[in-house]
Structure 1
């Protein structure tokens, strides 16, 4: 191996490691091997075509920036993709970073690429200019078509569609979308922006994180150019600000936002805001701003239910042209119930492990990969706890569950309880049977097999068992 190639790649990794999440770094960067360095071209080896395509789609910006930092602006990256069998390589896939279509790294004074016919010294103040082209900073993959609707987000999504069709001319101004981390707030907010641009290409749309807004304000404050900063934002037709809760530590930025908000709202322009909590619970934000946040609609997004999580995974697979067994999809959807970002991360890690190890995706591989995502239960579930859950779910008296009755609803509830006790407790079959009126282990085995068979043939029954499994798992956290 060319020693200089290894040195360059090691320095690149030291930068990348501080930027991407640890799990993503382990999955997508550690398997890469530097092969050679030819002038400004670094050749790296990746395990598969899928691996190469994923890097190009998600990390080409980062690779470009770090490599140019090490090798200069003429830096290029060349891939060698391993082939199944033998030690040969495909013809190297070459990406010329200088001419590739990744998003521009913006480090000029303005932070947003501005294209105008006449050069001006200050991109914020343009006398006599009524319309300009501003890069909206939107991810084209964030659309309404790729945003799955469920009970968890129905109000927010439908309000977003209304806003996109009539920005500024509806009662949802501002539209505040709030919810926990990784539930799709940014996706929905940007989907509105993309839909506005599709329906009305001439409208000026801009997405900005609160952190970038605050940093811009600080930069312009140092240069005594606050008015220019405010005037620029007052030219926007649809302004999307992500994570407004972070304004709580930026008092002066709140003053600028207040002036921008008032001007846009009074001018019939649309504002879309996201937050991790409803406006009434935002601490450290000026009351005059909070009162304006409450002028329109505040719509919450919660964690999607089991069925919606399956739809999200299937949509992701369809978009990426991927396939995997239905039982694996269900396993991921059932076990990952913290947020959508983690759900998609589990899917990507599973695909990566399959590609790296050249293994078919099955339930065993899914269980192995999901160990990094599923939290270990913090408390032990008892048979009595499961019995009470099932009795409450089916509205069956607890004492009936232990009696030797042959009523269908009682027998089925007892069988499901035994099945769940076997799955979620460490008790032996004999111990489980003793908790049901002294039944022996063969009864427990028969009950578990009956439940499995019914789950394979009866959709309604399977859904009920899956819902109870969720309840038991939540109780263990």
Structure 2
């Protein structure tokens, strides 16, 4: 078995991306740096000001990812970034060494108002076009070529991992390259919220407003997290109006359309719906294969036999992020075990993730009743108990989990899901989904439970 640190670190990053929401990874885990291997101990370096928080919240996730990568052969320890050997190689743009050219292809700075930088790898040239995303790609390109003249705002909707953020960054990178000096700012709703609250505490609201309103193009990711953030929604509403009135372009992404964001004020929904709304669906098989082939060519990966990519594309059908993570997992496993990348190896690795021979999708989506029955059985409950008014911990978590799965794997509206769970309203469903998502980001056992249930729901024998 080889111990190439580059492969270990790449594989661990892929595992962490798979285990936590994208916004959580970008804000808390992306700043981690590789600190070296000491026997079976892998050292990670974290900025000193957040190391304790990462240890408290993500220690279990880090250790679980390490065990999943190399069972029994890898331990992880978190050390302050300033104390480690990689401190000297800290990315330009980290605190104390701000970049001089915004948007340059350097690594993102770790903290501060410029944290959310554009990813130089996310461009229109690197975006794989298919039937599921063709319209969204065309709309994003039109906006990048003619900001505020084509569609304003542009609202991109789709489930996690299908390319929304890639298109968002592509718009920003295109404008910065060809926009004649137009200014671009990218952020997530979580970052916008944190900066706004910090500005309130420090009585620096005017500087915050200038930072977001003096831009030609504003890109906002994960708008769905705006729900129930009343003060943030108010500020974003005024920011939206200020930019729109001055002829600036807005591009936003969300995992669901504005009409399904029931906790938002009506005036905010109207702003979101005032331009063009485009959706991205799960990629078809041809698109999945193209993504894999492009990644293999770009990374110079040598495959021992044909059919490896077809196997991965068949097994991982829900999103691009999971597809690339599966490929990275296969490649890293081959490197760490000195094995050839053939169908047998790919089957072995994918079986660890999704179960032997199981496919990731079904022709027909699961029904609400099927999800309820499956979750109830998993936790030793009856379906009647699951949808009852019982609020004890024994029933509450399975119910939240079932609502989360219903939201993820059916096309039913929030009110319809609520009705199927004993006549609950849509706000209860939203709250349950948020609670479940938060727990999945910090509880490896809950994550594994969802993974297993998802496999049963989407497999051919579910």
Unaligned runs of 5+ in 2: 1-36, 47-53, 103-112, 363-456
2:119 maps to which residue?
A: 139
1:252 maps to which residue?
A: 231
Residues 379-417 of structure 1: CA deviation (Å, up to 9, x unaligned): xx9xxxxxxxxxxxxxxxxxxxxxxxxxxxxxxxxxxxx
Classify the secondary structure of the residue corresponding to 1:373: helix
Classify the secondary structure of the residue corresponding to 2:227: helix
- Structure 2 CA distance, aligned partners of 1:141 and 1:298? 25
Instruction: Quote the offset at 1:300 in angstroms.
Output: 0.5
Q: Which has the larger radius of gyration?
A: 1
2:314 maps to which residue?
A: 334
> Which has the higher relative contact order, 1 or 2, with Cα contacts under 8 A spaced 6 or more apart?
2
Of 217, 221, 225, the residue aligned with 1:242 is 221
Instruction: Quote the offset at 1:249 in angstroms.
Output: 2.4
Q: Which deviates more, 219-228 or 337-346?
A: 219-228
Instruction: Quote the offset at 1:475 in angstroms.
Output: 4.5
Unaligned runs of 5+ in 1: 35-62, 78-96, 117-132, 382-471
- Structure 1 CA distance, aligned partners of 2:65 and 2:168? 27
Distance 1:138 1:21, change over 3 A: farther
- Structure 2 CA distance, aligned partners of 1:323 and 1:181? 29
Q: Is residue 303–residue 338 contact of structure 1 (8 Å, CA) maintained in 2?
A: yes
Q: CA RMSD in A?
A: 3.6
Residues 246-302 of structure 1: CA deviation (Å, up to 9, x unaligned): 010210111110111011111111101000001111121111111011111111111
Distance 1:374 1:8, change over 3 A: closer
> What count of residue pairs does the alignment treat as equivalent?
309
Classify the secondary structure of the residue corresponding to 1:249: coil
Q: Does 1:161 align with 2:141?
A: yes
Q: Is residue 113–residue 134 contact of structure 1 (8 Å, CA) maintained in 2?
A: no
- Structure 1 CA distance, aligned partners of 2:156 and 2:92? 27
Instruction: Quote the offset at 1:231 in angstroms.
Output: 2.4
Instruction: Quote the offset at 1:27 in angstroms.
Output: 2.8
Distance 1:346 1:6, change over 3 A: closer
TM-score (norm 1): 0.58
Distance 1:276 1:368, change over 3 A: same
Q: Is residue 136–residue 204 contact of structure 1 (8 Å, CA) maintained in 2?
A: no
Q: Does 1:218 align with 2:207?
A: no
Q: 1:64-213, aligned counterparts within 5 Å? A: 66-69=79-82, 71=83, 75-77=84-86, 97-100=87-90, 102=91, 104-106=93-95, 137-170=117-150, 172-200=151-179, 202-213=181-192
Residues 59-105 of structure 1: CA deviation (Å, up to 9, x unaligned): xxxx9x94425x2xxx324xxxxxxxxxxxxxxxxxxx4245x3534
- Structure 2 CA distance, aligned partners of 1:166 and 1:195? 11
Distance 1:7 1:354, change over 3 A: closer
TM-score (norm 2): 0.60
Distance 1:141 1:327, change over 3 A: same
Q: Is residue 136–residue 205 contact of structure 1 (8 Å, CA) maintained in 2?
A: no
